[in-house]
């Protein structure tokens, strides 16, 4: 069984969610508690926020620390840090498993070709997630209104990173998702690993793609072979 490395801290709640999701999914799969080995390296969050997640050297160093500790491959428990994925992935000594590629696989399996993307301001505006999906033939749309971008971004940083879940915030995010659906999105990508704390499939008729769950199940499938 392979050892999973989790690049965490961005933020702490999603890091914990990765560990919990992987171990629970393993039990559901195998029925025992022989979880794959998991190593977590927690980064300081604030420098990444200040730099707009554009810290390739720091990210490469963190992945190499996980490799030295024994990780066979790495998943980053954060969508926004994938801003530097294309730059860093070819340089690291162990595979960095992309959350974007894992999500694209799920979208294609669902037979969709156009999705809406929600996440931090960086994820919604920097284009890296959309480019990864475009390579798979998937069109990505993001909120048009600055107010919608700011609403989702604020809810993530002021509430969800601290595991604060408010009904009013859920309604606000669902309204933004609804506007994406009306523009033709067949599904909504929850492109922040904290957004699934707030929005679940049961909250909307529009299919949602929980990138945390998708990524964790991908990591588990690699670990158990």
> What pLDDT shows up at residue 109?
98
CA distance 125 to 142: 8
The 10 Å Cβ neighbour count of residue 174 is 18
> What pLDDT shows up at residue 224?
97
> What pLDDT shows up at residue 33?
97
Regions of the chain short of the pLDDT cut 50: none
Chain-centre distance of CA 67, in angstroms?
21
> What pLDDT shows up at residue 91?
97
Task: Name the segment(s) of the chain with CATH classification 3.40.50.1860.
Answer: 4-98+213-224, 100-211
Chain-centre distance of CA 52, in angstroms?
16
Residue 210 DSSP SS3: strand
> What pLDDT shows up at residue 137?
97
Quick: pLDDT tens for 32-77: 999 999 999 999 999 999 999 999 999 999 999 999 999 999 999 9
CA distance 82 to 191: 11
Identify how many contiguous H helices and E strands the chain contains and give both numbers.
Answer: 10, 7
> What pLDDT shows up at residue 111?
98
> What pLDDT shows up at residue 64?
98
> What pLDDT shows up at residue 27?
97
Return the CATH class of domain 100-211: alpha beta
> What pLDDT shows up at residue 17?
97
> What pLDDT shows up at residue 201?
98
Among the listed residues 147, 156, 219, the one whose alpha carbon sits nearest the alpha carbon of residue 179:
147
Return the CATH class of domain 4-98+213-224: alpha beta
Please give the C-alpha separations between residue 219 and each of 5, 72, 211, in angstroms, as whole numbers. Answer: 9, 11, 12
């Amino acid at each position: 069984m392979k050892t999973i490395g989790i690049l965490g801290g961005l933020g702490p709640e999603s890091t914990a969610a990765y560990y919990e999701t992987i171990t629970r999914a393993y039990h559901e799969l195998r029925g025992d508690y022989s979880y794959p080995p998991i190593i977590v390296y927690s980064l300081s969050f604030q420098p990444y926020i200040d730099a707009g997640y554009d810290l390739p050297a720091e990210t490469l160093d963190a992945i190499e620390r996980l490799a030295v500790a024994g990780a066979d491959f790495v998943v980053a428990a954060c969508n926004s840090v994938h801003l530097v994925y294309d730059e860093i992935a070819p340089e690291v000594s162990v595979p960095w498993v992309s959350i974007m590629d894992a999500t694209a696989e799920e979208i294609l399996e669902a037979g969709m070709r156009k999705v809406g993307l929600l996440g931090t301001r960086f994820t919604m505006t920097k284009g890296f997630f959309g480019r990864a999906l475009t390579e798979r033939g998937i069109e990505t749309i993001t909120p048009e209104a600055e107010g919608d971008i700011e609403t989702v971004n604020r809810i993530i940083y002021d509430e969800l990173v601290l595991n604060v879940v408010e009904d009013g915030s859920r309604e606000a995010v669902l309204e933004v998702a609804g506007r994406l659906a009306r523009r033709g999105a067949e599904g909504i990508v929850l492109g922040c690993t904290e957004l699934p704390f707030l929005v679940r499939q049961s909250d909307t008729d529009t299919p949602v793609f929980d990138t945390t769950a998708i990524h964790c199940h991908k990591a588990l499938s690699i670990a158990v072979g």
